[in-house]
Amino acid sequence: MDLEKAGMIKMAEKNFSIRMEFILLGFSDLPSLQGFLFGMFLIIYTSILIGNGLIIFITKVTAALQTPMYYFLGNFSFLEICYTSVTIPRMLSDLWTQKTNISLLACAVQLGFLLSLGGSESFFLAVMAYDRYVAICKPLYYPLIMNHQKCIQLVTGAWISGVPVQIAQTCQLFSLSFCNSNKLNHVFCDIPPLLKLACGDTSLNELSVYGGATIFVTFPSLLILWSYIKIIKTILKLPSAMGRRKAFSTCSSHLIVVGLFYGSGFITYLRPKSSHSPGVDKVLALFYTIVTPLFNPIIYSLRNKDVIIAIKQLVQK
C-alpha cells in the first residue's frame, strides 16, 4: 500500500513539474555549434540594437527628417528593438548556460509580449503604407491629413490595439493542460509548438489562432495591398520618369520589409497544423523575429537618400 502511495506521489510530482515548466530544446540537436550560434546571435542582436538605435537617433535630431514618414520609422525601429529583446536575450542565455528550462509563467509572459509586439508591428506596417498612400496619391492634402495629432493617434493605436486580443489569446492557450510532454521543440515559446504539447481538444485554440492571424496578418496586409494598388496607379500617371523613379524608390524599402515580415507570418500561423515541422517552424520563427529587425535599418538606410545624408552629417559632426 505504501509503495502504491509513493508511486502515486511520484507520478503527481512528475505531472506537476511538467505543468510548471518547459524544456526549450532550441538548438540541442546541434551540440557542436552552440558556441558558434551564441557568437552569431550576439552579433545579430548587437547589430539590431545599433542599427535601429541609429535610425531612432537621426529621426529625432535631424531637422530634415521631422516628417510623419520618419516619425513612424523611428517608432517602428524602437518596436523592432523591443520585439527582438523578447526572444534573443533568452536564446543567448540558453546557449551560454546550457540551462534551457523555462517556467510556465515566464513562457506565458514571453508569448504574450511576442504576440502583442508582433501585432503592433503588423499595424505599424499598415500605418506606414497609409502614410505613403496619402503622400503620393493626395500630396496637396498630406500636411492636413497627416497632422501631428493624427500621427500620434496612429502610432498609439498601432502600439496598443493588439494588446487586449493577444493577451486574451495567451491566457486561453495557457488555460490548457500540457500533459503530453514538457519538451518544447522550439527556440522560444510560440503557439504552434505549445499546441503540440497540449492534451485534450485544442480546436477552439486553433480557431482563435486563425482568427488572430486574420486580424493581425490578413487584414493589415490587405490594407497595404490596397494602398499600393492606389499608389502604383498614381505613379504610372506621373509624366516624369524621374518622378516615377523617386516615388517607387520611396515605397520600395517599405515593401521589402512588408514582404519579409508578412511572408513568414502567413506561413507560420495560417498553414495547417498537420504541415508544421519543428525544423521549418524554427527557421520561420528566426526569420520574422530576427531577420526583419536586422534588415530594417539596412534597407531604410541604403535605399533612402535623406537617411544617408543625415548619417553622413552625423559622422562629420
pLDDT in tens, 198-251: 887 778 888 887 887 778 888 888 888 898 888 888 888 877 766 667 666 667
| Mean pLDDT over the full length of the chain | 81
- Residue 60: count of CB within 10 angstroms of its CB: 12
**Which string of b and e fits 132-163 if b means at least 16 CB within 10 Å?**
bbbbbeeeeebeeebeeeebeebbeebbebbb
Residue 119 above 60 pLDDT? Answer: yes
pLDDT score recorded for residue 272: 61
- The confidence score (pLDDT) of residue 302 equals 62
Minimum mean pLDDT range among 139-143, 196-200, 240-244, 307-311: 240-244
pLDDT of residue 163: 87
Query: What is the grid cell recorded at 235?
Result: 505613379
Q: How many CB atoms lie within 10 A of CB 177?
A: 12
Q: Are 188 and 92 in contact (CB under 8 A)?
A: no
Q: Is the pLDDT of residue 39 over 90?
A: yes
pLDDT of res. 16 = 42
Supply the DSSP symbol for 146.
Answer: T
Burial class of residue 16, CB neighbours in 10 A (0-12, 13-18, 19+): exposed
* pLDDT band (50, 70, 90) for residue 168: confident
DSSP 4-28: HHHHHHHHHHHHHHHHHEEEE-TTT
Dmax over Cα atoms in the chain, in whole Å?
91
pLDDT at site 277: 66
Give the bridge partners for 199, in sequence order.
177
Can you give the pLDDT at residue 18? 44
> For residue 49, what pLDDT is reported?
94
| pLDDT score for 50 | 92
pLDDT recorded at residue 250: 64
Residue with cell 530594417: 296
Q: Which CATH number fits domain 2-316: 3.40.50.300, 1.20.1070.10, 3.40.50.1360, 3.80.30.20?
A: 1.20.1070.10
Dihedral sign, CA of 46, 47, 52, 54?
Answer: positive
In this prediction, residue 229 carries a pLDDT of: 87
Q: Read off the pLDDT of residues 171-208 as tens digits, 9 standing for 90 and up.
A: 888 888 887 678 888 888 888 888 888 887 778 888 88
User: Helix, strand, coil shares of the chain as percentages rounded to 5?
Assistant: 80, 5, 15
